[in-house]
């Protein structure tokens, strides 16, 4: 079994300092939870970088998942910031060809 933590957009990354060594995945919410189709909150890129630094400083294998507002246009910058897993619900399910959209995201 693995342990994960979800972090809302307004929660600082420092809140994870005391538990980072005990978890396997951090889900960074990049929109305010509640409904699909919201726009990505740009400050999340900074939070991804902060979290990646924290993980790397401790030589941990914690995955960073980003959920909310992920699109083909911003996915590369999210990955480049340090994310391992992207949740792209609306981007996939509202696409004309969901299978092609998944393939395009995976190609990044």
Radius of gyration of the chain (CA): 14
H or E segment and range at residue 70: none
Q: Encode the chain (108 residues) as per-residue pLDDT tens digits.
A: 999 999 999 999 999 999 999 999 999 999 998 888 899 999 999 999 999 999 999 999 999 999 999 999 999 999 999 999 999 999 999 999 999 999 999 999
> Whole-model pTM?
0.93
Residue-range definition of the domain harbouring residue 17: 4-107
Q: Name the DSSP letter for residue 34.
A: T
What are the residues whose beta carbons fall under 8 Å from the beta carbon of 54, sequence distance 6 or more? Answer: 13, 16, 17, 20
Of 20, 26, 35, 33, nearest to 5 by C-alpha is 26
Total structural domains in the chain? 1
CATH number of the domain residue 82 falls in? 3.20.20.70
What are the residues whose beta carbons fall under 8 Å from the beta carbon of 97, sequence distance 6 or more? Answer: none
């Amino acid at each position: 079994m693995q342990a994960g933590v979800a972090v809302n957009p307004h929660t600082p990354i420092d809140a994870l300092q005391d538990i980072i060594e005990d978890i396997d995945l951090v889900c960074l919410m990049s929109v305010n939870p509640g409904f699909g189709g919201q726009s990505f909150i740009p400050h999340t890129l900074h939070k991804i970088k902060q979290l990646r630094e924290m993980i790397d400083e401790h030589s941990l294998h914690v995955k960073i998942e980003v959920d909310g507002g992920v699109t083909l246009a911003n996915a590369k910058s999210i990955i480049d910031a340090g994310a391992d897993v992207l949740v792209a619900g609306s981007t996939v399910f509202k696409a004309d060809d969901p299978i092609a959209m998944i393939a395009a995201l995976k190609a990044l």
